[in-house]
Amino acid sequence: MIAIGVLLLGACSGQDDTGRAVSFLEKFRGAVVADEPRAVLIAEAILDEGGTAADAGAALFFALSVTYPIAAGLGAGGACVVYDSVTEVSESIEFLPRPASLGGSVAIPGAVRGFAAIHARFGRLRWSKIVLPAERLAQFGHPVSRAFATRVAESGVARRAGPRLRELIAPNGQNLLEGTEMKRPVLASTLSDIRSRGGGDLYFGALSKKLIDSNGEISGTLTDADLQRFLPEWKPSSGLRFGDLVFYSIADQPSGGVMAGTMWGMLLAENRFRDSIGADRAHLFAEVAGRVYASIGGSEENAGELSAFRAHTLMTGYNAARHVPPPRTGQSDLSGWSGAGDDGSTSFAIVDRRGSAIACGVSMNGAFGIGRIIPEVGFAAAASVPPGPKGWRFAGSDFLTSAIIVNNFTGELIYAGGASGGPAAPIALAESTLDTILTGSPLIQNTGAPRLFHFGNPDRTFIERGWPAVMTDALLRMGHTIAAIDRVARVNGIACVNTIGTRPDICEFVADPRGYGLGVGGAL
């Protein structure tokens, strides 16, 4: 499903206890957008109960662990960027699935502790209210959504799944069908423990013992120390300012947000984006993407922090009329992603009634992680992959892209969104949002349009099927080598581009039509 909304919002002024003016949004209950509809509706209900974006984000994750476990199981990890409209400060938190100290195929699960930390810092509602809706879905069952059934079929994960997972997603040897009733009592019990004893129980309580005791069966080498020492990492968000706007992303890993922000800066500088149309703009996107991907591919280092100087430097030698191959830096060859399987990741964004927001990416490092359900706890473990470029061909967690854009002078939200689905995620977010943010053109139109991307290595411009032939011909004349691809990243976003000035606020909330997600929100 695709959903968009147009919201008329009023604003009034209040005072916080420091005496500084604070903006409040009247008659606006917030907005939620994600890849799976039933989880979206749970997050919407949390907002309706007065919960913050952080409350709704945590509830959304736990619901996804039941309705969309291919990408967001309890064994997953991830990262989020958060914006607090009261303080006008953006922070990021990283809790990616990290390798165990003794190696092995199983990664340390980070998402439960990550979202518990987000809730503790920015939440208002009781923890039990956050987890209970997911627990009920697992206990009493729910119809499988088209989003989940389609993704299971597209990933082909049933061919490598362990027996318990195969029974869940391919009963009787057939792929799961939309509308099939699904109950998961063991998972419900695990969620009950998390609800009653807190997220820490998975790391130093009875649940952690169950997880450690299961290691022999799942060929993992998790230890008590691995779980107990795992801590999410809070940092100020990376920010890049252009004019009135500030682009906030995750501070370090995953690199996707920094990559998208760097591309955003390269496209805006010298009015490159505004001054190009049609094939010239497509050429610009390909050149920008190739330079950014090549710049981080030659070492184990991440993409660093957002920097206008770096964005400027990467455009050295740019030719608006001709393809210039990106520099060779020893970057990993990413051609394997052309037609590759599912990377087991998802993204979502939420805005609450105060105008605070959260944008997150979550990953299992492969569809259902290691492809086996741990019988003692009822969920699959994320797969352990090498950090940096060595792991790029195995999982897309390093490319998870979360972004929040605000007006630097008013503090008002302009955009919150995320992208997932492998290396194309950062450029997909830039392509899907820039025209909306700069000109106010419909987000649904820009999100659904065919995309292109360039990985730096190979020196090839990938175009999504449906790309206009006349544009392809123009790119070929400019010196691009073209390859078609079916499956690309998914972008979920909320745009409120007219919050600047005195015009009424108009927001769209759009789930990428490449999946069957949902965007909801609107007036009280």
Is the peptide bond between 386 and the residue preceding it cis, with omega within 30 degrees of 0? Answer: no
At residue 487 the predicted structure's pLDDT band, cuts being 50, 70 and 90, is: confident
Q: Which residues on neighbouring strands pair with residue 84, listed in sequence order?
A: 89
Is 52 in contact with 82 (CB distance < 8 Å)? Answer: no
At residue 227 the predicted structure's pLDDT band, cuts being 50, 70 and 90, is: very high
Instruction: Flag whether pLDDT at 300 surpasses 60.
Output: no
Could you give the angle at the alpha carbon of 396 between the alpha carbons of 346 and 120, nearest 5°? 50
Which residues lie below 8 Å from residue 420, measured CB to CB, with a gap of 6+?
35, 71, 343, 345, 346, 347, 361, 362, 363, 396, 399, 400, 401, 489, 490
Which residues lie below 8 Å from residue 285, measured CB to CB, with a gap of 6+?
267, 427, 430, 431, 452, 453
pLDDT tens column, 424-479: 999 999 999 999 998 889 999 999 999 999 988 889 999 998 999 999 999 999 99
At residue 173 the predicted structure's pLDDT band, cuts being 50, 70 and 90, is: confident
pLDDT tens column, 340-381: 557 899 999 999 999 999 999 999 999 999 999 999 999 999
Q: How far apart are CA 386 and CA 334, in angstroms?
A: 15
**pLDDT at site 172:** 83
267 or 160, higher pLDDT: 267
Q: What percent of the chain has pLDDT over 70?
A: 87
204 phi, psi to nearest 5 deg? -150, 35
Q: How far is CA 353 from CA 103, 356, 359, 380, in A?
A: 44, 7, 15, 35
Mean pLDDT calculated for residue range 216-232: 86
Which residues lie below 8 Å from residue 17, measured CB to CB, with a gap of 6+?
none
Mean pLDDT calculated for residue range 402-425: 92
**pTM of the model as a whole:** 0.92
Instruction: Please give the DSSP secondary-structure letter assigned to residue 1.
Output: -
